[in-house]
């Protein structure tokens, strides 16, 4: 699936708006890849907001930097590194976001604990991913997480699931709030 087709099927701006990303927000994209969600998030939060992105792939982070420079975005903070080791801030984020990434982490529990530490008590965790069904694109079926599996992993990490919904024919979006304790 090329990027134009992907944007049609997985409209990043619409998905980000649907989870409440607004001007002035702080957004953390965990496993951000080449910035499919990071760049639109930086545009949506505007100059008063912040968008953070972390990925183990240095080339992907370079791609985001070039896109950000072309778009004149100065509100992006990017890091090459593992999500297991990355903590941008404590209780600063309005949204911690996983865009087709949850299945990629070596220690998903640690990644979710870090996300929880970065989120404000009122913050939102969002997990956008492929349904666990055979289809002509996306990651191999055997590494995908079903909505139920992903929700279970998120709940185990001290989050309360708010919603699980289909996004188009191929994807789902889970939103969750940190449990207070």
Residue 137's pLDDT is what?
85
Tens digits of per-residue pLDDT, 60-75?
Answer: 999 999 999 999 999 9
Residue 8's pLDDT is what?
73
Contact between residue 32 and residue 38 where contact means Cβ atoms under 8 Å apart: yes
Residues 6+ away with beta carbon under 8 Å from 24: 45, 46, 48, 49
Domains within the chain, CATH numbers bracketed: 3-178 (3.40.50.150)
Tens digits of per-residue pLDDT, 71-92?
Answer: 999 999 999 999 999 999 999 9
Closest C-alpha among 132, 100, 123 to residue 36: 100
How many CA atoms does the CB half-sphere of 5 hold within 13 Å?
5
- Chain position carrying tokens 């990355």: 86
Query: Looking at the DSSP assignment, which residues form a beta bridge with residue 36?
Result: none
Contact between residue 106 and residue 72 where contact means Cβ atoms under 8 Å apart: no
Share of the chain above pLDDT 90, in %: 88
Burial 11-42 (b: 16+ CB within 10 A, else e): ebeebbeebebeeebbbbbbbbbbbbbbbbbb
Tens digits of per-residue pLDDT, 118-159?
Answer: 999 999 999 999 999 999 888 899 999 999 999 999 999 999
How many CA atoms does the CB half-sphere of 116 hold within 13 Å?
19
The whole-angstrom separation of Cα 4 and Cα 11 is 10
């Amino acid at each position: 699936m090329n990027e134009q087709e992907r944007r049609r099927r997985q409209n990043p701006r619409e998905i980000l708006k649907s989870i409440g990303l607004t001007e002035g927000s702080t957004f953390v994209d965990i496993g951000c890849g080449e910035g499919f969600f990071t760049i639109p998030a930086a545009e949506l939060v505007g100059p008063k907001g912040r968008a953070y992105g972390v990925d183990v792939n240095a080339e992907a982070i370079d791609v985001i930097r070039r896109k950000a420079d072309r778009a004149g975005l100065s509100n992006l903070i990017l890091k090459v590194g593992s999500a297991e080791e990355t903590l941008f801030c404590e209780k600063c984020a309005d949204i911690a976001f996983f865009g087709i990434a949850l299945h990629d982490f070596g220690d998903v529990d640690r990644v979710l604990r870090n996300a929880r530490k970065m989120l404000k008590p009122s913050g939102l965790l969002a997990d956008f991913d492929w349904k666990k069904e055979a289809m002509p694109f996306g990651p191999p079926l055997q590494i995908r997480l079903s909505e139920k599996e992903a929700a279970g992993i998120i709940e185990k990490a001290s989050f309360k699931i708010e919603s699980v919904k289909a996004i188009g024919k191929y994807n789902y979006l889970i939103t969750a709030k940190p449990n207070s304790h």
